[in-house]
Amino acid sequence: MKEWLLIYWDEILFSVITIIIAWIFYKYLSKLIQKSLKVLGKDLKAPKTVNFFMGLVISIFAILVLLNIWNVDLMPYIAGLGISGIVVGLALQEPLANFISGILVMTTRKLFEGEVVDVNGISGIVDEIKINHSYLRTFDGKLVLLPNKSVWSGTVTKFWPGPVRRVKMDVGVSYNSDLETVLKLLQRAIDEEPLVVKDGVSNFIAFKQFGSSSIDFTVYFWVERSTYFDAVNALAVRIKKIFDDEGVEIPFTQIDVHMKN
């Protein structure tokens, strides 16, 4: 063992130094990117993904340096693979496709961290994009690993492409109600609710249908992402209060039971 250490002492020393330098360079580059963006007044949109791919690139270079230090020539091994190489290539076909798709997904910003999306019918918040999979955290706390190939070729719906988003709310009123009054009251509720966005957008009410027990309208209004649930709840409460004050009935299903002696 001692003789082996004496023979390969230089290689071991340079290998350790290479690994330490690669690690220090990774940490330094990560902090440098964050500081540079902070000076520019911007935030790193995908810190986990950027750090992962940056670490991957640095690791590849470090491995190449280590191979050079130990005088490892991969060409004989590659040439000697033969039929086995074809088998390995076929086995790596899917991971390689996912790797390339992951780079495309990240560089084209089809997904990025923190974004609320629906990918092929699965909704959630993008947690991180890695070599083979994109990590999607669903609204009920599950972590779904989506193959990058399916993400790149699939349908992605972005729920918040901008700072505001339009929401619709169905409201039913009694057939005894005056519809012109109902429309005015619904518009009043929208105008009076401070959490509903009004600048640069169009909030309106549209007739939906003559239902089995009510006349239904759909209220279309815009909200900010940070107050999404608060705005929806606040408008619902306001509509109910205005209807109660003005004597407008919101009907509900009723069942008449006839008792027979």
Provide the CATH number for the domain around residue 154.
2.30.30.60
pLDDT of residue 209: 95
CATH of the domain at 177: 3.30.70.100
CA–CA–CA angle 50, 55, 56 (5° rounding): 100
Q: Please report whether residue 252 resides in a domain.
A: no
Q: Please report whether residue 52 resides in a domain.
A: yes
For residue range 170-213, list pLDDT tens digits in order: 999 999 999 999 999 999 999 999 999 999 999 999 999 999 88
Total domain count for the chain? 3
- Please indicate, yes or no, whether residues 95 and 151 belong to a single structural domain of this protein: no
| Average per-residue pLDDT for the chain | 86
- Of 158, 187, 221, the position where a domain reaches its end is 158
- Please indicate, yes or no, whether residues 57 and 137 belong to a single structural domain of this protein: no
**Average of per-residue pLDDT across 70-89:** 61
pLDDT of residue 171: 96
- Please indicate, yes or no, whether residues 89 and 66 belong to a single structural domain of this protein: yes
At 255, the pLDDT band (50, 70, 90 cuts) reads: low
Q: Which residues on adjacent β-strands are paired with residue 172? A: 216
Q: Please report whether residue 261 resides in a domain.
A: no
- Please indicate, yes or no, whether residues 123 and 101 belong to a single structural domain of this protein: no
Q: Please report whether residue 65 resides in a domain.
A: yes
- Please indicate, yes or no, whether residues 187 and 234 belong to a single structural domain of this protein: yes
Residue ranges making up the domain that contains 99: 8-106
Among the listed residues 142, 162, 148, 76, the one whose alpha carbon sits nearest the alpha carbon of residue 119 = 148
- Please indicate, yes or no, whether residues 86 and 148 belong to a single structural domain of this protein: no
Long-range contacts of 150-155 (CB under 8 A, 24+ apart): 150/119, 150/120, 151/101, 151/105, 151/110, 151/111, 151/119, 151/120, 152/101, 152/104, 152/105, 152/110, 153/101, 154/119, 154/120, 155/119, 155/120
Rounded to two decimals, the pTM is 0.64
